[in-house]
């Protein structure tokens, strides 16, 4: 192999590595997203603060179904609790933590209000995975209706992953 070919190969490798590093720009989940309260178009808000992790579903006036799974790799959930959930009737909200504290499943029916779940994560370097859907009969991933962190970032894929203890 000639010196020029080796240099070109090295340059190509460096460009590939730089491109991969730029392509992985993780979402910053810190701080509550702005403009995410009841009375807005149906959406999710996901954030982390000193109290732990929070996920909220919100709607304007009509009933919308929110379903999802949150899982943790390399750690476990602690202090899992519901937020403003209805426990009876047509809008009954349900969440369930798995027996090994690695999974939270939820199914919320939100109408003109807010529903949610709060939790903390323990472990050295745990990674959270979120699968979030909207809709009753044919739930869909709608990234433009998922706001993460203070910047209100939208995920590009479902499920999406975020380090549980920051970057």
Q: Where are the domains of the chain?
A: 28-163
The second-level CATH assignment, the architecture, of 28-163 is Sandwich (2.60)
Burial 106-124 (b: 16+ CB within 10 A, else e): bbbbbbeebbbbebebeee
- Tens of each residue's pLDDT in the chain, 167 residues: 555 544 444 434 343 444 433 344 578 999 999 877 766 778 899 999 999 999 999 888 777 889 999 999 999 999 999 888 777 766 678 889 999 999 999 988 887 788 899 999 999 999 999 999 998 888 899 999 999 999 999 999 999 999 998 65
Enter the DSSP assignment of 32: P
| Residue-level length of the chain | 167
Q: Give the 3-state secondary structure percentages of the chain, helix then strand then coil, rounded to 5.
A: 15, 45, 40
Radius of gyration of the chain (CA): 19
């Amino acid at each position: 192999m000639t010196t020029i070919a080796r240099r070109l190969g090295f340059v190509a490798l460096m460009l590939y590595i730089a491109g991969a590093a730029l392509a992985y720009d993780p979402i910053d989940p810190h701080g509550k997203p702005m403009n995410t309260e009841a009375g807005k178009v149906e959406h999710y808000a996901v954030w982390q603060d000193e109290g732990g992790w929070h996920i909220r579903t919100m709607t304007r006036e009509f009933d919308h179904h929110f379903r999802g799974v949150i899982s943790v790799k390399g750690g476990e959930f602690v202090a899992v609790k519901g937020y403003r959930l209805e426990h009876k009737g047509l809008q009954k909200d349900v969440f369930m933590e798995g027996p090994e504290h690695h999974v939270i499943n939820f199914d919320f029916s939100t109408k003109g209000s807010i529903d949610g779940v709060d939790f903390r994560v323990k472990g050295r370097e745990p990674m959270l995975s979120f699968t979030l859907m909207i809709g009753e009969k044919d739930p869909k991933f709608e990234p433009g209706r998922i706001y993460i962190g203070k910047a209100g970032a939208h995920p590009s894929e479902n499920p999406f992953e975020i380090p549980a203890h920051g970057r």
